Chain A
Amino acid sequence: MAENIGTLFQWLIFLGVAFISILASLLLVTRKNPIHSALFLVLNFLCVAVLYILLYSQFIAIIQVVVYAGAIVMLIVFVIMLLDLEVELRSGLKFSYTKLIGGFLALFFFLGIFYAVVAKSPTGKIGSSYTSENITNNVKAVGEVLFTQYLFPFEIVSILLVVAMVGAVILSKKRA
């Protein structure tokens, strides 16, 4: 009885969140005002976080909220506020090469996701999935795997981030 109700609720939450997420992404690309787009981006990220929770991956879900919905979109909003919105709004729906390239990239990534869904294991390996039983040690499990099995990629990513940071400092220091 209780399990049935639990499953039913999970399905209801999944359907609602998935629908809102798709709606938010559509609105994100169609809004004219960049701040509104950024807000729909936040909504989309939050929905994705809920989807992670439904997959019993609490840690990834909360990182999604802290890093993406919190920090990164906040930076985006910060930059948009400093821009002149009027110029942005007037440029409207004109054709530009950035849009063309962006469109192709979007299509490419969509095909990638589609392939990942259809082909069950693109890398030939199936990752361990979380269930409601082993959810309590989620953070510990992620940490252990990150610092043992995937230590090398982890360190490489950190170097990449340092390089990006140094690059940003140099760009902003450059005298025009």
Chain B
Amino acid sequence: MQLLYHLIEIIVKCVVVFGCLMLCVAYMTWLERKVLGHIQIRYGPNRCGPFGLLQPFSDGIKAFFKEDLIPGRADKVVFVLAPMIAIVTAISIFAVIPFGNQFTIPGTNWVVKLRLADIDIGLLYIFGLASIGEFGIVLGGWSSGNKYGLTGSLRAAAQMISYEVALGLSIIGVIILSQSLRLTEIVNLQAGGFWNWNVWYQPVAFILYIICGLAEINRTPFDMPEAESELACGFNIEYSSMKFALFFMAEYAHMITMAAVAVTLFWGGWQPPLPFLSFIPGVVWFCIKLFIFVFFFIWQRGTFPRLRYDQIMKFGWKILFPLTLVNLLITALVISLKG
């Protein structure tokens, strides 16, 4: 019976997290268009429902009923597989994110932990799946049989490999501080007020993580693989209908994951900013912090112009990579001197 309850708990948690994530993705597209609109002194979507709130659903219905084209020169199996790889990995990463502490179901002594999987290698799992997810974009561009698509995916491959190195190195400082790869432990060590958050101990790492993270999920100013003005959408040029929507959703899901990891590693996860505020559930704090990051990602998209490709590669290898190494060295030195 215990086993059955356990199974039910896992399934319910998976469904709830998946549903919330998909709803977040849908409303992030709305938020992004709205915020970008106001940044550019426009209204953004305002026709479908109040404040355009039903826009994501009408977009979804439109994408679903559009004609699904597969180009004649395309590698058909890979062409269909690529968006699936992108969306599956983007969603699966969320399995290890701890989005709250635990609570007891009223009337029973059944404790529900608010995370799907609490594994010893949580942080590495995120990187592993993110690196698999890159295949989605790279193969999508290649299999289209289109020059722009191929150029986009070559750029994506080079850019992601380059920034993955700096991204991985930037968070090693946090791992050294918390002496664990388990995300729950990293969060627990940041308990007791906002002055304990890792962002004060690893400020350089935090900024580097945000920059590399933006490059990793191909957001402006690093959106080289799909640069509209030069590559006419790059890797997803031949995609239409639901396959394009999958790529689109994968990008936004990935953005939420990047923000969630940033919150977990640097901003104390579900911990409240001040100890006496702990009567508000951790999930609320997690969502507030997540929203701040997501808003920042949208805001900076409306602010910065796209960089040139050679500038991106130079920036990644000659500035970010040495900076992360220096940050790592200093962190390790301080920790070893302290004992």
Contacts and interface: CB of A to CB of B under 8 A. Distances in A.
Contact of B154 (A5, A42, A78): A78
Contacts of A33: 75
Nearest to A61: B121
B138 interface: yes
A63 B161 contact: no
Interface in B107-166: 119-121, 124-125, 127-129, 131-132, 134-135, 138-139, 142, 150, 153-154, 157-158, 160-161, 164
Interface in B175-213: 181
Given A70-B128, A74-B161, A2 B3 contact: yes
Given A65-B132, A74-B134, A74-B135, A35 B124 contact: no
Contact of A58 (B121, B134, B135, B154): B121
A156 interface: no
B119 A74 contact: no
Nearest to B141: A81
A42 B157 contact: no
Contact of A35 (B2, B75, B127, B128): B75
A106 B132 CA distance: 27
B78 interface: yes
Interface stretch (A16-24, A96-104, A133-141): A133-141
A77 interface: yes
Contacts of B157: 74, 77-78, 81
B interface secondary structure, majority? helix
B161 A81 contact: no
A137 B180 CA distance: 10
A100 to B, nearest CB: 30
A69 interface: yes
Interface in A112-132: none
A71 B78 CA distance: 19
Contacts of B142: 35, 77, 81
Contact of A62 (B78, B121, B160): B121
A82 interface: yes
Interface residues of A, number: 29
A159 interface: no
Given A65-B132, A78-B158, A139 B2 contact: no
B267 to A, nearest CB: 24
A62 B127 CA distance: 9
Contact of B161 (A2, A66, A71, A138): A71
A39 interface: yes
A33 B158 CA distance: 22
Contact of B120 (A39, A66, A135): A135
Nearest to A70: B131
A interface secondary structure, majority? helix
B121 A59 contact: yes
A137 B157 CA distance: 34
A87 interface: no
Contact of A65 (B75, B131, B164): B131
B3 A66 contact: no
A131 B120 CA distance: 14
Interface in A1-15: 1-2, 5
A165 interface: no
Contact of A70 (B134, B154, B158): B134
B127 A138 contact: no
Nearest to A136: B120
A162 interface: no
A75 interface: yes
Contacts of A77: 135, 138-139, 142, 157
Interface in B280-332: none
A66 B153 contact: no
Given A2-B3, A70-B131, A78-B158, A35 B78 contact: yes
Contacts of A81: 138, 142, 150, 153-154, 157
Interface of A: 1-2, 5, 33, 35-36, 39, 42, 46, 58-59, 62-63, 65-66, 69-71, 74-75, 77-78, 81-82, 135-139
8 contacts: A5-B3, A39-B135, A65-B129, A66-B131, A71-B131, A71-B161, A74-B135, A135-B120
Given A58-B119, A74-B160, 8 more contacts: A35-B75, A39-B135, A62-B121, A63-B124, A70-B134, A75-B161, A77-B139, A137-B120
